[in-house]
């Protein structure tokens, strides 16, 4: 591995672009290669075995591209496939997920408190946040709630209207999230509704956006391994397993600017 190799980032679709955007702002010298598995989204309602199969194939593509790091920018894939990917990639690249940095943040800032988690059925059902937080600090309670309507709502562009406010209010009023001091946005789509979530809590609850936390952790990881790029050598690449008009339209929503997409099938 060397400093000028690119950073590989993948997600089931668009949500990971929030992480890619945060990484590009924090590490402007790095070339990013993003893979959105748009042909198979969402991952949140798929089995662990299926997610693992897709993830390994995506890793093959990112390794072929010479990535020095593979960042799993998807909570569902992080929960289901991280250990498998680490073993599969071996010493070819560093591997990072979006769960560990958030867990570390929660342990540092919310000891002896109740923390909420919203995410896909796969992420919440895995129990990975609760397990990892309790492994470091038994005093932290975790109230988790699967919120499956939020991803399609965001991807279809309904997150800015009154419909979304009603759905968000209904979810956040659930007993599982009562008396929480912080809320983990356990899906990389959710930063796009962070303001609405914060409005619901009227500033009294720490709404934890993983994208910036993960970008900071990635910078620290690269610095530790002396792999920070000194200058950008190539333009970022954005690969998807299927291109649809709605996906193209939504990329600017997630990344902040319109991005050119290249189709790259997982299985030819």
Residues marked as catalytic:
74, 187
Rounded Cα distance between 66 and 12, Å, is 21
Q: Which residues have CB under 8 Å from 23's CB, separation 6+?
A: 7, 9, 30, 32, 71, 214, 215, 218
Order of strands across the sheet that contains 262-263: 94-97, 69-72, 7-11, 32-36, 237-240, 262-263
Query: 3-class DSSP state for residue 216?
Result: helix
Q: Are 171 and 145 in contact (CB under 8 A)?
A: yes
Rounded Cα distance between 71 and 97, Å, is 6
Whole-angstrom CA distances from 5 to 65, 88, 136, 224 are: 9, 19, 34, 16
Whole-angstrom CA distances from 24 to 9, 58, 95, 255, 258 are: 11, 21, 18, 10, 14
Rounded Cα distance between 34 and 37, Å, is 10
Phi, psi dihedrals of residue 89, rounded to the nearest 5°: -75, -35
CA angle 9, 123, 139 (to 5 degrees): 110
CA angle 36, 48, 89 (to 5 degrees): 65
């Amino acid at each position: 591995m060397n400093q000028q190799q690119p950073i590989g980032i993948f997600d089931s679709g668009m949500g990971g672009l929030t992480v890619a955007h945060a990484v590009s702002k924090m590490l402007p010298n790095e070339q990013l290669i993003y893979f959105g598995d748009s042909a198979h989204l969402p991952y949140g309602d798929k089995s662990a075995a299926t997610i693992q199969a897709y993830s390994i194939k995506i890793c093959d593509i990112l390794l072929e591209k010479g990535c020095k790091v593979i960042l799993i920018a998807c909570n569902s894939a992080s929960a289901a496939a991280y250990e498998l990917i680490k073993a599969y990639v071996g010493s070819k690249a560093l591997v990072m997920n979006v769960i560990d940095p958030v867990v570390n943040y929660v342990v540092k800032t919310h000891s002896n408190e109740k923390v909420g988690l919203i995410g896909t059925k796969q992420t919440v059902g895995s129990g990975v946040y609760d397990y990892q937080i309790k492994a470091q600090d038994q005093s932290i309670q975790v109230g988790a709630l699967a919120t499956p309507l939020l991803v399609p709502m965001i991807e279809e562009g309904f997150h800015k209207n009154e419909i979304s406010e009603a759905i968000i209010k209904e979810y956040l009023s659930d007993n599982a999230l009562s008396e929480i001091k912080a809320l983990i946005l356990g899906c990389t789509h959710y930063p796009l509704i962070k303001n609405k979530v914060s409005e619901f809590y009227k500033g009294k609850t720490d709404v934890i956006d993983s994208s910036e936390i993960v970008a900071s952790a990635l910078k620290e990881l690269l610095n530790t391994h002396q792999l920070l790029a000194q200058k950008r050598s190539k333009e970022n690449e954005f690969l998807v397993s299927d291109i649809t008009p709605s996906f193209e339209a939504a990329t600017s929503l997630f990344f902040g600017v319109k991005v050119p997409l290249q189709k790259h099938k997982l299985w030819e």
